Amino acid sequence: MQTSPPPYAIAGKQTIAQTSDLRVTLMDFAPGQEIPWHRHNAVDDTSFCLKGSVEISTRNPSEVEVIAPGEFKRIPAGTPHRVRCLGPEPCRVLLVQGVGAYDFLPA
């Protein structure tokens, strides 16, 4: 499990729940902020948009999807992806990661 700070900065990040195989995080983004390209070896990311417009991009396969409040996107383990706030208003995302050991690998 990662213990060092992530290699990015966003407006807010709060861990809601965490075990050795599952993490739930509430994240706030200012317009233009992003979590840069990365992947995870074992965990899937499921991002639920709670506020604003969230762009989720993937490589292999190459896709760009914008999700709005009430929508979600699942990224399978091993898939390089990026998450960013499109603006013009802030966005909020509830991120569920699991099942498996968390890692953050720049891609």
Read off the CATH number of the domain in which 40 is found. Answer: 2.60.120.10
Over residues 13-72, the pLDDT tens digits come to 999 999 999 999 999 999 999 999 999 999 999 999 999 999 999 998 899 999 999 999
Confidence of residue 75 (pLDDT cuts 50, 70, 90): very high
58 within a domain of the structure (yes/no): yes
Classify residue 88 by burial, with Cβ atoms within 10 Å: 0-12, 13-18, 19+.
exposed
Number of domain units in the chain: 1
- Please give the Cα distance from 100 to 38 (Å, whole number): 17
Predicted confidence at residue 2, as pLDDT, reads 47
Q: Are 46 and 93 in contact (CB under 8 A)?
A: no
Residues in the chain: 107
Alpha-carbon distance of 103 to 43, in angstroms, equals 8
What does the pLDDT read at residue 4? 56
Looking at the domain assignment, is residue 4 inside a domain?
A: no
The domain of 59 spans: 12-106
Edge-to-edge strand list for the sheet holding 22-29: 12-18, 22-29, 91-98, 44-51, 72-75
Q: Is residue 5 included in any domain, yes or no?
A: no
| Whole-number pLDDT of residue 1 | 44
For the question of whether the overall pTM of this predicted structure is more than 0.85, the answer is yes
